[in-house]
């Protein structure tokens, strides 16, 4: 597993968030695999699908990717509150990938939190945007990861060290009984 982003893909983007979206999604598409069944590569959903970036064509697991520079924190900024609540409450809610990267665009940590650990009370509603904002009244959310037990955090890469695939799949599957 190569831990470096393909930086040449970002040449056409001026916005840092757009660069990171392109770089991190490309990295997952080319370097990752399904933690549930070990199949690779993961397929990408079309852009702008609410709370879904990837899926496994083999076992149909869905994945949402959240990326940020620096360390993984307990509170993760996310998108629209209502969309997130609707999606994680649905029958086909996604698993969540969290990726942290360095200033040099290299993966520091990459983990999955299986979908059965996500509950609506983990999604914290933010204040609506001010009337002076471009999207006045829009309500975003944060994801509070403090409620996820350590057994619910399955690392594929931890502190720039790739975790053996067998270990990842075994740890992911240990908690599947919670979906019942």
| Residue 19 binned pLDDT confidence (cut-offs 50, 70, 90) | very high
Within its chain, how far is the Cα of 163 from the centroid? 18
Q: Specify the 3-state DSSP secondary structure of 165.
A: helix
In order of their start, the domains of the chain are 7-71+92-118+150-179 (3.40.210.30)
Q: What is the pLDDT of residues 117-151, one digit of tens each?
A: 999 999 999 999 999 988 899 999 999 999 999 99
pLDDT at position 31:
96
pLDDT, residue 67, reads 94
Alpha helix ranges (H) inside 89-175: 165-174
- Enter the tokens of residue 7: 């930086």
Q: How confident is the model at residue 46 (pLDDT cuts 50, 70, 90)?
A: confident
Cβ atoms of 113 and 65 within 8 Å: the answer is: no
At 48, the pLDDT band (50, 70, 90 cuts) reads: low
Task: With beta carbons less than 8 A apart as the criterion, state whether 136 and 104 touch.
Answer: no
Per-residue pLDDT, averaged over 155-164, amounts to 97
**How many Å apart are CA 96 and CA 71, to the nearest integer?**
17
- Mean pLDDT, the chain, rounded, equals 93
Residue 2's pLDDT band, with cuts at 50, 70 and 90, is very high
Would the pLDDT of 158 be above 80?
Answer: yes
* Among the listed residues 42, 4, 44, the one whose alpha carbon sits nearest the alpha carbon of residue 23: 4
Chain segment 49-104, per-residue pLDDT in tens: 667 899 999 999 999 999 999 888 899 988 899 999 999 999 889 999 999 999 99
Give kind and range of the element (H or E) at residue 23.
helix 16-31
* Cis status of the peptide bond prior to 41, with omega within 30 of 0: yes
24: CB partners within 8 A, 6+ apart: 5, 65, 67, 99, 101
């Amino acid at each position: 597993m190569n831990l470096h982003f393909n930086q040449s893909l970002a040449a056409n983007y001026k916005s840092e968030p757009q660069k990171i979206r392109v770089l991190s999604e490309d990295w997952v598409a080319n370097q990752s695999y399904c933690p549930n069944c070990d199949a690779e590569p993961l397929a990408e959903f079309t852009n702008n699908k609410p709370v879904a970036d990837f899926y496994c064509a083999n076992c149909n697991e869905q994945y949402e990717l959240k990326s940020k520079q620096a360390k993984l924190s307990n509170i993760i900024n996310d998108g629209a509150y209502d969309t997130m609540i609707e999606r994680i409450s649905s029958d086909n809610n996604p698993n969540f990938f969290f990726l942290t990267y360095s200033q040099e665009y290299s993966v520091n940590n990459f983990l999955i939190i299986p979908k059965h650990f996500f509950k609506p009370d983990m999604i914290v509603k933010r204040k609506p945007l001010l009337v002076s904002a471009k999207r006045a009244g829009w309500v975003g959310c944060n994801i509070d990861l403090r409620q996820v037990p350590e057994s619910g955090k399955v690392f594929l890469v931890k502190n720039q060290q790739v975790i053996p695939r067998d270990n990842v799949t075994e740890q992911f599957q240990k908690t599947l009984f919670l979906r019942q």
